Amino acid sequence: MKNWGIRGKVLFLALAPAALIAAVLALHFVNSRIADLEQSLRERGLAIARQLAPASEYGVFAGNRDILQRLTDAALKESDINWVVITDLNGEILATSGKPSRLPRVSDTHAGLDYAVAETQSALTFSAPVRLSQIELEDVAGSLLGAIANASASEAPRVRSVGRVYVEMSRAGTVQRKNELIRNGLVIMLLGLAGSGLFAFRMSREVTRPIQRLSVAVREIGAGNLDVRVAEDSAGELQVLEQGINNMATTLKLSRDNLQEKIAEATSRLSYQAAHDTLTGLPNRREFEVRVERALTGAREQHQTHTLCYLDLDQFKVVNDTSGHVAGDELLRQLAVLLQAKLRDRDTLARLGGDEFGVLLENCSLEQAQPIAEVLRQMVKEFRFVWHDKPFVIGVSIGLVAITDESESLSALFSSADAACYAAKDRGRNRVHVYEEEDIELVRRRGEMQWVGRITRAMEENRLRLFVQPIVPLFPSPDADVHYEMLLRMLDDDGQMILPMAFIPAAERYNLMTSIDRWVISAAFSTFHQMFPFVTGGGKSICTVNLSGHTLCDEHFLDFVERQFSINHVPYPSICFEITETAAITNLTEAIEFIRVLKAKGCKFSLDDFGSGLSSFTYLKNLPVDYLKIDGAFVKDMETDPMDRAMVESINHIGHVMGLKTIAEFVESEQILEHLKAIGVDYVQGDFIKSPQPLSSLLAGKLP
């Protein structure tokens, strides 16, 4: 019954009592009528026997069989009588009518019996004594004399029986009437049930129809159909429910539409941010590569010619070093506006990173591109940037390469443009240079001289240093983890500290990152047990190590990491590997396999700079990471830039939906911290929390 619908339950509750009452009433009616029939048959049989016995007195006493035969024949005419027999005291049959199944045998001992009834399954046999009502004179006189002689006796003389009357009544009529009564009772019961069923059906329909409509509406709403509505034609509590369902559907639909609108807006913003540089608003490197790839395809399929320009600002470092990064950022924004104004609508100007820009001149040959590049170079040269009344003169070195149907690949195009730009710098800066075959060798020699040698010597001379910056929970709890990110620094030949952004790009370009990552892991793991015994407070301490995309592609790197775990006895759950979003997406297959193997052993993984890539949300669901580190470019300006705050909110929300903890980096002020608290970010990292400190500070227990 628990699986019945509400209509079935209502019908059952309505019909069950009605059926029980109808059955009881029908049973009572039939039983009472059957009892009445039985009693009537008995009373009629006894009445016939009692009437026949006095009427037979004379015939029995006088021995007149004719009179007795007429009496039995007359009695046989009564309904339901099978036979009638009159006997004397000795049991001799004096008269009989009908066909008795067996002749009654009445002995002298039965002479004094009163009325009696014998029952069989098919008949009732009634008997009554035939008594004398008049006594002969001599008998009376004799009785008087006897009474006088027995004066001491207290009893009066008895009336003497002279015979007995037997009447058999058939039960066939009674049985037939019983069956009719049972049939009538069943018909009455069925009619009652039918009436009750009709009433219950109508009642259940009236009661359950609105409930079923509500049930259907709730099921439809649960399935996502928020346009469903129910008629509000009931009364009382049902009408309240109908109104509530309709109001709920309306509210949910409005909320869904509002949420979808916000999601569409956030998606649009995310798509824009994924394709554009947050500082200048220009397309970023990844978007620029997409457009160059599209131009390369067009050149091959339609034999078009385009030109790729690579721009690197001269003397930009002077602005940053003398006036700070804020001045450098403002210079880049102003230059972006000026450069864009000199290009055609169909051309693309993009910021490739740092002080580097790219220009795609579509349907433009090298001969046509060179004057355009000269205009750009001249405009930058003549531009005077003033910061706090201090003027700066800068220049730009531009490398050009043609995009034709003979171009090899996207990476080859960028290498050629990069080589041409370096050639322009090598030949005196602030000039335009068209790519030539020997430019690649020039750049290679220059790179090897400037960075490969310096990084290699630093590693050989043990001039790489580990710094530590804590990543703390924004809402501390006794079981919250505290992360310590390992950050790399390098000492130059003079002992001056070099920040990673100065040499990491070169190390990545010339495939030195795998060696650097191995050094970092070896150094961090070898000091692991010295670092974390000094960490106080609740929760668990986790060491976070950064990995590059080149390292993920090293087929021997996983074996190296597992050996380091074994050699240094470092517990797997105490290590978190941090991979940038770009590196993870670029090396997706290798990243997923690396994460899968180590995550199965307990390691944690964090996706760094999330939100900076082109297809962040598309690839995120394929990467089984534990933490999502929001790109600091969004965090640092979220206090003043509503779009950056919206990006942080969206990334935090998506991370939580996927069951990931979120980390906000570049937390540089209390105001940013309060914004992050309001949003609900899980962890924070930045100079406001704690600036990077030498590893020795952690070993000395000076970090929280």
Assigned token pair, 389: 């009344």
Topology of 283-435 in CATH? Alpha-Beta Plaits (3.30.70)
pTM score, two decimals? 0.42
Q: For all residues of the chain together, what is the average pLDDT?
A: 81
Integer Cα distance of 679 and 649 in angstroms? 6
The torsion defined by the Cα of 518, 523, 526 and 528, in degrees rounded to 10, comes to -110
Per-residue confidence (pLDDT) for residue 680, from 0 to 100: 95
- What pLDDT does residue 632 have? 87
* Angle between helix 65-76 and helix 6-55 axes, rounded to 10 deg: 160
Task: List the chain residues with pLDDT less than 70.
Answer: 1-16, 18-19, 22, 25-26, 28-30, 101-113, 133-159, 199-208, 439-450, 534-539, 612-619, 698-704
The model's pLDDT over 64-79, given as tens digits with 9 standing for 90+, comes to: 888 888 888 888 888 8
Residue 563 CA to residue 554 CA, distance in Å, equals 15
Pairing label, strands 541-547, 575-580: parallel
Q: Which of 474, 483, 476 is nearest to 680 (CA)?
A: 474
Per-residue pLDDT tens over the stretch 186-241: 777 777 777 777 766 666 666 667 777 777 878 888 887 878 887 777 777 777 88
3-state secondary structure of 436: coil
Question: At 467, is the secondary structure helix, strand, or coil?
Answer: strand
Tokens standing for 622?
């394929």
**Could you give the residue ranges of the DSSP H alpha helices within 510-641?**
513-526, 528-531, 549-552, 557-568, 581-586, 588-600, 616-620, 632-635
> With contact defined as beta carbons under 8 Å apart, do 603 and 624 qualify?
no
Give the pLDDT confidence score for residue 597 in this predicted structure. Answer: 93
DSSP per residue, 163-181: EEEEEEEESHHHHHHHHHH
Task: Measure Cα distances from 461 to 124, 487, 489 in Å.
Answer: 132, 19, 14
Q: Is the separation of the CB atoms in 174 and 14 below 8 Å?
A: no
Q: What b-and-e string marks burial along 228-263, b requiring 16 or more CB atoms within 10 Å of the CB?
A: bebeeebeeebeebbeebbeebeeeeeeeeeeeeee
**Residue count (the chain):** 704
- Angle at CA of residue 49, ends 46 and 50, nearest 5°: 85
| CATH tag, 456-699 | 3.20.20.450
* Span between the terminal Cα atoms of the chain, in Å: 63
Q: Which superfamily, per CATH, for 6-177?
A: PAS domain (3.30.450.20)
Q: Are strands 116-119 and 123-131 parallel, antiparallel or unpaired?
A: antiparallel
Locus of tokens 């790519």: 435
